Copies of this chain bind each other. A is one copy, B any other.
């Protein structure tokens, strides 16, 4: 197949590597000429350009821009394309994006390869980034069946574990396991540094070890990403935050009123219920 990738960062670049390895011809588009050059040098793409016309002959296009630019990019793109071209994206939220893109291009299939590293940009692109990672495909009733199949096959060829669900189910699920953890983890750091007693704060910083480190990790991550999750997945995130807050209040109540049996039951339950979330 001839494959187009718009946005040659970590995800777009890594997709290019693997898709070329599977024999596809990959054309890349970036807003920066220097990124196009590096993409060609690193072997991420067969050819690259700042001009979107490079993609006029491809069969499928992966939109790998930041979330805020996906539908804008699609609008610029579609005037010169044949209707059989499949367009997919790699955004980490799906309802808002599918709602914007589907009316613009009927052959649009939402997707979310759930892989990443702490690094970003074309230099961070690597082979096999998606191997053993989830790749969620989020069709609607209107999505052409054959296009879903083609995207599934490509995702499987990357070594990903492919899941298919509605954009709404995807967004609720990632709110629980990805977006909510960011907010509760950030709130932990923010609450600690609000401690008025400076001696306590200083000793706390000195004594902090793996427990604090792990619980605070995602709350200390990229602010842009956290903000974007909240903006684009507001409804689902608020649903999880409300459920979380209720649960937290219950734990506070158990401690405040010394309902030790209830607290123990809760902690026994969470010990047991964590395992189904560990995909190892």
Using CB atoms and an 8 Å cutoff, list the residues of chain A in contact with chain B: 114, 133-134, 136, 161, 163, 165, 169-170, 172-174, 176-178, 180-195, 197, 199-201, 203-209, 211-224, 226-227, 230-231, 234, 237-238, 240-252, 254-256, 258, 260, 263-264, 266-271, 273-279
Q: A234-B255, A274-B219 are in contact. Are A266 and B186 (CB under 8 A)?
A: yes
Q: Give me 10 other A-B pairs in contact (C-beta within 8 A), A208-B277, A213-B278 excluded.
A: A172-B197, A180-B188, A183-B255, A184-B215, A190-B266, A191-B248, A204-B277, A211-B217, A213-B277, A221-B271
Bound state CA distance, A170 and B224, in angstroms? 35
From the candidates B176, B181, B206, B226, name the one contacting A134 in the complex (CB within 8 A): B206
On chain B, the residues within 8 Å of A207 by CB distance are 114, 134, 136, 163, 173-174, 177-178
> What is the interface of chain A mostly: helix, strand, loop, or mixed?
helix
Q: Are B177 and A273 in contact (CB under 8 A)?
A: no
Q: Are A190 and B252 in contact (CB under 8 A)?
A: no
On chain B, the residues within 8 Å of A136 by CB distance are 203, 207
Bound state CA distance, A193 and B271, in angstroms? 12
Q: Are A276 and B181 in contact (CB under 8 A)?
A: no
> Closest CB-CB distance, A232 to chain B, in whole Å?
11
Q: Are B234 and A270 in contact (CB under 8 A)?
A: no
On chain B, the residues within 8 Å of A205 by CB distance are 177, 276-277, 279
Q: A188-B180, A189-B274, A205-B276 are in contact. Are A169 and B200 (CB under 8 A)?
A: yes
Q: Are A204 and B176 in contact (CB under 8 A)?
A: yes
Q: Are A187 and B247 in contact (CB under 8 A)?
A: yes
**Nearest 4 interchain pairs by C-beta:** A220-B274, A223-B267, A181-B215, A208-B277
Bound state CA distance, A269 and B221, in angstroms? 11
> What are 30 of the A-B contact pairs (CB < 8 Å)?
A114-B207, A114-B209, A134-B209, A136-B207, A172-B204, A174-B204, A176-B191, A177-B208, A181-B212, A182-B211, A187-B244, A189-B273, A189-B274, A190-B250, A190-B270, A191-B240, A191-B244, A191-B246, A194-B247, A206-B279, A216-B277, A219-B270, A221-B271, A230-B260, A234-B255, A234-B258, A238-B252, A238-B256, A244-B248, A245-B248
> Closest CB-CB distance, A174 to chain B, in whole Å?
7
On chain B, the residues within 8 Å of A217 by CB distance are 211, 214-215
On chain B, the residues within 8 Å of A169 by CB distance are 197, 199-200, 203
Residue among A182, A212, A276, A277 with most chain B CB within 10 A: A277
Q: From A272, which residue of chain B is reached at the shortest CB distance? A: B220
Q: Are B211 and A192 in contact (CB under 8 A)?
A: no
> Closest CB-CB distance, A78 to chain B, in whole Å?
29
On chain B, the residues within 8 Å of A240 by CB distance are 191
